[in-house]
Amino acid sequence: MGEELKKKLFNVKKDGWEEADEAERKEIFNISEKYMEFLNQAKTEREFIKKARELADKNGYKDIMEFETLKPGDKIYFVNREKSMYLAIIGEESIENGMHIIGSHVDSPRLDLKPNPLYEDTGLAYFKTHYYGGIKKYQWTTIPLSIHGVIVKKNGEKIELNIGEDEKDPIFTITDLLPHLAQEQMEKKLKNGINGEDLNLLIGSIPYKDEKITEKVKLNILDLLNKKYGITEADLNSAEIELVPAFKARSLGLDESMVAAYGQDDKVCAYTSLAAMMNLKNVKNTAVCILSDKEEIGSIGNTGMESHMFDFFVSEMLNKLGINRPNLLDKVFCFSKMLSSDVDAGFDPIYASVSDKTNAGFIGKGIAIVKYTGARGKSGASDANAEYVAWVRNVLDKNEIKYQLTELGKVDVGGGGTIAYILANKGTDVIDCGVPVLSMHAPYEVTSKYDIYSAYKTYEAFWKE
């Protein structure tokens, strides 16, 4: 009797794999395969947006600037400086009733080159870096790194770099001290083990053949760059070059149940929401997909979510729908609903002490719904209203999607934030929701294929509602 009552009253979350039948398992592995393929070609925000645009074009989406007027069913997008993008399908109902927005970010922690990166020391040539986002610096030494980005010449010509991904390419690395001589380093606190200023990328060692000159290795590197790309050292001033792990996205585990890859925060949510949008047909409410940049450094700048670029996009929709009037933009935001789709900290049994087991996000239990983020007394949190949480629960349950309500870590242990608060500040109902990740922000992050599938299903259901 107690057992029956327990079944009725307890909120028990089972592992997703246990309930997935053969057909569902096939679907889970299929979507993860496509996700890994996409990741391997989209390691940076620029590469992600480029691929997203190609996908959108293939699926009948067009640049909003090409439209004179808009009507229900139209599929549009806007690309902001090659680093962020908004996509939308105009809904059957008036946009005045609000949009259904899913927002993720496509930037990930990495190492950026400094504006004057190239130098030579003792016969070795290096690129100096400045890390981007929250990294554990020691994780970025002695791994294969690849070079991605753009160099823009004064005449506007843009050179795209991608070195280290092709099997035939060379790779690069940052060296570390041998344990034999690391006695002093090993005594340091982990966070001080590697200095930010020492994250210098080893890029060459052959001197230019000329007895009389100095900095021969640097000259040889510049000569190579000049012959291949037509650039000089000064052109590196106007460049955005990012170093990312040269690892490929791979299936993880003997059962192949997980994905190991760089940049899954937050490309796992970005990809699944983009893929879900590509398969959408007609929607009741205008469906919007945001792929934002700069989340890892505070969402600031004109490609970050804090910028007015998104307002511009929505205003353009209102203009081209022929309904715009003073303050309508505010109204649309106030009546909108949003999933801030960003990854969650997955519960790691090896580091169990940082999580509250009854409120942690578990790998393989489906999408994690995070009512609030923030740290120390919910400071800085966008705390979703109970009414909105109930609405989201209803949508997920109706569509038989597995989900878990979670919190990022134990009270006072730490915390985090997403782009949720930015739209919440405009009056939109927002809740964080995403895939739990192990080793978040590390060069190789781990997710469950079940949760990737669950995220896809969640985003699809949200837009179809």
Residues that bind Mn ion (CB under 5 A): 265-266, 342
Nearest-approach distance from CB 304 to Mn ion, in angstroms:
13
Residue 112's DSSP bridge partners are 130, 242
Nearest-approach distance from CB 435 to Mn ion, in angstroms:
10
Q: Coil, helix or strand for 292?
A: strand
User: Residue 203 or residue 437: which is nearer to Mn ion going by CB?
Assistant: 437
- What type of residue sits at position 329? L
User: Residue 270 or residue 275: which is nearer to Mn ion going by CB?
Assistant: 270
Residue among 204, 9, 43, 3 at smallest CA distance from 117: 204
Nearest-approach distance from CB 93 to Mn ion, in angstroms:
31
Nearest-approach distance from CB 449 to Mn ion, in angstroms:
19
Which residue has the closest beta carbon to Mn ion? 266
Burial readout 353-368 (b: 16 or more C-beta within 10 A, e: otherwise): eebeeebbbbbbbbbb
Start-to-end C-alpha separation, the chain: 38
Q: How far apart are CA 208 and CA 308, in angstroms?
A: 49
Tokens of 284: 């009741």
User: Residue 264 or residue 307: which is nearer to Mn ion going by CB?
Assistant: 264
Q: How far apart are CA 263 and CA 331, in angstroms?
A: 35
User: Residue 266 or residue 306: which is nearer to Mn ion going by CB?
Assistant: 266
Nearest-approach distance from CB 416 to Mn ion, in angstroms:
7
User: Residue 213 or residue 413: which is nearer to Mn ion going by CB?
Assistant: 413
Residue 173's DSSP bridge partners are 202
Nearest-approach distance from CB 440 to Mn ion, in angstroms:
7
Nearest-approach distance from CB 269 to Mn ion, in angstroms:
8
Q: What angle do CA 163, 164, 168 make, to 5 degrees?
A: 100
What is the residue-wise DSSP string for 69-94?
S--TT-EEEEEETTTEEEEEE--SS-
User: Residue 236 or residue 289: which is nearer to Mn ion going by CB?
Assistant: 289
Q: From the CB of residue 223, how many other CB atoms can be counted at a distance below 10 Å? A: 11
Residue 293's DSSP bridge partners are 304
Q: How far apart are CA 102 and CA 459, in angstroms?
A: 7
User: Residue 20 or residue 297: which is nearer to Mn ion going by CB?
Assistant: 297
User: Residue 120 or residue 266: which is nearer to Mn ion going by CB?
Assistant: 266
- Phi-psi region at 276: left, alpha or beta (left = phi > 0; alpha = psi -120 to 50): alpha
Q: How far apart are CA 269 and CA 112, in angstroms?
A: 23
Nearest-approach distance from CB 27 to Mn ion, in angstroms:
25
Nearest-approach distance from CB 264 to Mn ion, in angstroms:
9
Nearest-approach distance from CB 20 to Mn ion, in angstroms:
26
Contact 369/433 with Cβ under 8 angstroms?
Answer: yes
Q: How far apart are CA 226 and CA 242, in angstroms?
A: 19
User: Residue 91 or residue 434: which is nearer to Mn ion going by CB?
Assistant: 434
Q: Determine how β-strand 403-406 pairs with β-strand 367-370.
A: parallel
Beta strands in 356-464 (DSSP E): 367-370, 374-375, 403-406, 415-416, 429-434, 436-437, 445-448
Q: Determine how β-strand 436-437 pairs with β-strand 344-345.
A: parallel
User: Residue 132 or residue 229: which is nearer to Mn ion going by CB?
Assistant: 132
